[in-house]
Chains A and B, each alone.
Chain A
């Protein structure tokens, strides 16, 4: 423990309370000096702009900030207590993304007569998202970790689904973006009046359930033997927490990390019982967001541009969470040896399977080039009669299919390296945030520095990815056996990416469409020379790693044993991680940051029985390439003539795979 609980416990709420009151006081100061404070607060003079602005914008905005912060923090505290998981929160468990998707669909599609049912719809969206997360995570040995991992996957997936949906409804784009970024700007009391009764209801309900919450925190078995109806209690409390989250997101959009950081910090400084944790969360969450929002408002004044508060909370919150959780070490020990591996491998080499995968890849490639769907579900063969049309069609398809295959291979190698060297079966370029950091570097270069050349972007992205991986390894240096630190940092980087993307979108205007489709992983803009370049890099790095398969195998025994046997593990690890980062970066340029092939392919390869490093690499490459090829064909043909992004389809396949896997375990 770094901070002494007793002192920090009083300082933090007091500090935030004072700061919040201070910020309101500063806003009110001009009116106090003019003696019109009362007037500005309650009955603004219609002829005075400053009074109108204060009464109809600043004041409701501050109220909204307090309500949103308080609500999210209380919901987060309840969710964390129920899952006994300090990383759980409305945003990390996919609830926010679920609500966002439901609401986006509702706003665009639903007829006006359904408007009263908006709450039900968003609540269902949040519940379904949480249900999926829970389904993936439950029944696994390392539930704490899997819950967060599943949350990240579902989060990214739903989020990209939302973006796709917007892609096809571009007329709503700008306003949905501002809303999605957690914009607190108000022009009246309407939103506040919409939100207030819902929040008061939800928060009172949660406060009333304080004691059951504490009993649930003891664990299911203890709670059951104390006579608590565990399942019902959990469902009721989660429903209320999701209702609070859904109401807030409906009103202002996603506000990240308040619901995670506030309760986690408070628990860390000593508020362990719900009786004190809940009211303190309310106070600190509310005041904290008021303060952050106050700071953001000052930016808006100088820059002229609007900087959404919700995006800013992620920027501030993510690094903060890393720091506080590192100090606290309240995560249980992640054990890389736990039974997430099948216990009995068939020791026989899998040559047949490997050949089959290879044949499948070749056959699939041929089919993918020659066969397509025409939009009515009928199969169309490319006619060979007209040679010119034939070559141009096939050539056009070839570069996209090859791009997908090459990226599948690159991500598979990258994922295998990170999983093996990081000693962590759940790591991957997507999960650890390397892909996100690559995308982040590219977006910043594109939007803020106006760099358009794709070669330049690829270089910048690679540098970004390598830097992210270095930072990651630096942060995790002392915890090489602890998978959760990798995931935690990945989570934070992904969150930062999300908020930067949102901020960038509000700046970029016309580039937004292209950015979204790229982030979702379209191969539409790919050029043949890029594919060849990426293929070369992938081939070279793959051959190098295959040559180093013996030390790669040794690395799976852990750093201590590896050093005992004479392998300079730190240099080796550095080299392998560099390779992984470069591969992740080059493939991110082609298919965007969230295909999950880097997680899925090595995982599948290991389950298929490719045990040793060399076979594992080749198996993962073949599986990754196959998956991406299928995804690319589907993306091109499912909704023809609409073109879906390949990365999203691959991510859908990946999520489906994890769902099937978890269902089969039961």
Chain B
């Protein structure tokens, strides 16, 4: 879906720093891609460039066949839904109202919401298990609950591409699994393209189809989950002593710190 060629990014100002350079990668359509790497490796920056939050990148990015910058704002919002790492929580909105804003790209400032819009909103809340507190204020929820509410808003947005910046950082293991399972389910059933920045190695190995590893703003490794869950690959990416064992009678591998 996204084809990047020699993408680089520098911050502006007097103390300019190169955050990304020479990234050449193709994120496959209808697949779950994960961006991994150590802290400060440029993962979030790359995702923000794909979400058009940073516009001064160098190189060439195509979304499908069209250059990334050639979409109108509304058009882009209908195609790409983006969840930032720390979204601003409006203090006065209820869960249902916030999720309802997912329909904004389709209805705009003045268009009436139709029955189908309300269906999509309800469906998104059920899928993310937030329907139980639909009429509470978002600001009164816990971090994990908020994360699911935001995801519900993205689902209501009904965009074929999801960009998620650490969507499970505040969740316990059970909810992490639920969310990633849901996202990967949607990928399989309705053909979503998902690109997520993830930290948990095992979750990446379990759910991702394609993995891009960054280090110091350059491509360090890319490949599929099976190759990713190898001790030497992980040691190379994270620069730490990591071992991998395979669970008997399954194709699941788990990592451990040696």
Contacts and interface: CB of A to CB of B under 8 A. Distances in A.
A612 B97 contact: yes
A558 B76 contact: no
Scoring B77, B80, B88, B94 by chain A CB atoms within 10 A of each residue's CB, the highest score goes to B88
Nearest to B91: A341
Interface string B74-110: 1111101110100111111110010001101100111
Contacts of B88: 336-337, 557-558, 560-561
Contacts of B92: 341, 345, 556, 606, 611-612
A551 B109 contact: yes
Contacts of A565: 77, 101-102, 104-105, 157
B135 A347 contact: yes
Given A551-B109, A564-B77, A568-B73, A344 B90 contact: no
Nearest to B94: A347
B53 A560 contact: yes
Contacts of B81: 564
Scoring B84, B94, B109, B140 by chain A CB atoms within 10 A of each residue's CB, the highest score goes to B109
B132 to A, nearest CB: 15
A343 B53 contact: no
Contacts of B78: 566
A610 to B, nearest CB: 9
Given A344-B140, A561-B84, A568-B73, A550 B109 contact: yes
Contacts of A347: 94, 135, 137
A320 B97 CA distance: 44
A269 B196 CA distance: 43
A337 B90 CA distance: 8
Contacts of B90: 553, 556-557
A566 B140 contact: no
A193 interface: no
A568 B76 CA distance: 11
A341 B140 CA distance: 12
For this complex, into which size category does the number of interface residues on chain B fall?
35 or more
Contact of A563 (B73, B89, B108): B73
Contacts of B87: 557-558, 560-561
Scoring A345, A548, A560, A564 by chain B CB atoms within 10 A of each residue's CB, the highest score goes to A564
Contacts of A336: 88
A28 interface: no
Contacts of A558: 87-88
A337 B89 contact: yes
Contact of B73 (A343, A567, A606): A567
Contacts of B94: 347
B101 A566 contact: no
B139 A566 contact: no
A547 interface: yes
Given A550-B110, A566-B77, A612-B97, A343 B104 contact: no
A566 B104 contact: yes
Contacts of A114: none
A385 interface: no
Interface in B97-132: 97, 101-102, 104-105, 108-110
Contact of A557 (B101, B139, B140): B101
Contact of A566 (B53, B105, B137): B105
Nearest to B106: A566
A2 B14 CA distance: 8
A337 B74 contact: no
A548 B109 contact: yes
Given A337-B91, A345-B137, A561-B88, A566 B74 contact: yes
B51 interface: yes
Interface string B151-171: 000000100000000000000
Contacts of B110: 547, 550
A233 interface: no
A659 interface: no
Nearest to A563: B73
Contacts of B73: 563, 566-568
A560 B77 contact: no
A606 B92 CA distance: 9
Contacts of A551: 104, 109
A638 interface: no
Contacts of B53: 560, 563
B242 to A, nearest CB: 34
A132 interface: no
A554 B140 contact: no
A606 to B, nearest CB: 7
Interface in A445-499: none
A175 to B, nearest CB: 51
A564 B88 CA distance: 13
Contacts of A550: 104, 109-110
Interface in A602-651: 606, 611-612
A347 B90 CA distance: 14
Interface string B1-45: 000000000000010000000000000000000000000000000
B89 A554 contact: no
B155 to A, nearest CB: 13
B93 A611 contact: yes
A564 B89 contact: no
Scoring A551, A560, A561, A611 by chain B CB atoms within 10 A of each residue's CB, the highest score goes to A561
A566 B90 CA distance: 18
Interface of B: 14, 51-53, 73-78, 80-82, 84, 87-94, 97, 101-102, 104-105, 108-110, 135, 137, 139-140, 157
Given A561-B84, A561-B88, A566-B77, 19 more contacts: A337-B91, A343-B137, A344-B137, A347-B137, A551-B109, A553-B93, A554-B101, A554-B104, A556-B93, A557-B87, A557-B88, A558-B87, A563-B53, A565-B77, A565-B105, A566-B74, A566-B78, A567-B109, A612-B97
Interchain residue pairs A-B with the least CB separation, the first 7: A566-B77, A566-B105, A558-B88, A566-B74, A341-B91, A611-B92, A565-B104
22 contacts: A2-B14, A341-B139, A343-B139, A344-B140, A345-B92, A347-B94, A548-B109, A553-B90, A554-B101, A554-B104, A556-B92, A560-B53, A563-B53, A564-B77, A565-B77, A565-B157, A566-B73, A566-B74, A567-B104, A611-B93, A612-B92, A612-B93
